[in-house]
Amino acid sequence: MTDSTMIIYVISDSIGETGELIAKGSIRQFESENFEIKRYPYHNSIEQIEPILLEASQSPKSLVIYTNVVQSTRDYIEKETKRLNLHTVDVMGSPMNQIEQILGYPPIREPGLIRRLDDNYFKKVEAIEFAVKYDDGKDPRGVIKADICLVGISRTSKTPLSMYLANKNYKVANIPLVPEVPVPSEVYAKDVNKVIGLTCNPEKLISIREERLKSLGLSNGAKYANIDRIKEELKYSKQIMEELGCIVIDVTSKAIEETAEIVMEHVDSLI
């Protein structure tokens, strides 16, 4: 670390995840790699915070981001950072103030509420466990119980999309489409509105599959990454998706988040 390194101090009375995400998202906008993020979770007393602020004041390029909600702690940080002439970001202050003005009563100022175990948390855990259990056609019976069934050939983002949707509380099963393997009857029995077909450009698939083979220490000459084989698989998957009558999403140039938004919008419109 040099004097030109920017140091971002993230102080929180909970785990500090929110502050760190804001720090990372912000610094990336400057395309700089010359930074360090120091996270200090569960810090809510002057004794804990004072040495952090003193350390920050010794760095020519430092920023303090804090998400504390207890008023006495917030008052101390605000006063001390002004005294030390530190750059600061009060993540919770402005949103809480605005909400208080709208609702007309003060916040309870209890640390860690966002992490509290609630019904939503357990639904998410259940959805993630479901996605793992019924990933990649391990058990086709999961298709019937799933909120969403994804179908597509290998490397069309079925698994990562399943996990992303699970984090949004959707129970997802995914089924690989392989010309030599019959499609499970459960897929045909599923409400077609809850079946989502995924496809991809063959050239993109070659690139993805070659990287996959490389990570496994295998040759790129394998049938798995052969252009003719990929085109055969895509032709087969198109045929199956037309038989099913499901919507089809081309994931070639889409991030997982973009595809997920399309899927969620489609499924939620059925409710």
Binding annotation for ADP: 152-159
Q: How far apart are the first and last CA of the chain?
A: 54
Burial class (CB in 10 A: 0-12, 13-18, 19+), 249: buried
User: Residues 6 or more apart from 5 whose CB is under 8 A from it?
Assistant: 34, 35, 36, 61
Burial class (CB in 10 A: 0-12, 13-18, 19+), 222: middle
Structure tokens at 25: 């998202």
Annotated binding-site members: 152-159
Phi, psi of 245 (to 5 degrees): 75, 25
Q: In what order do the strands lie in the sheet with 6-11?
A: 35-40, 6-11, 62-66, 87-90
Burial 44-65 (b: 16+ CB within 10 A, else e): beeeebeebbeebeebeebbbb
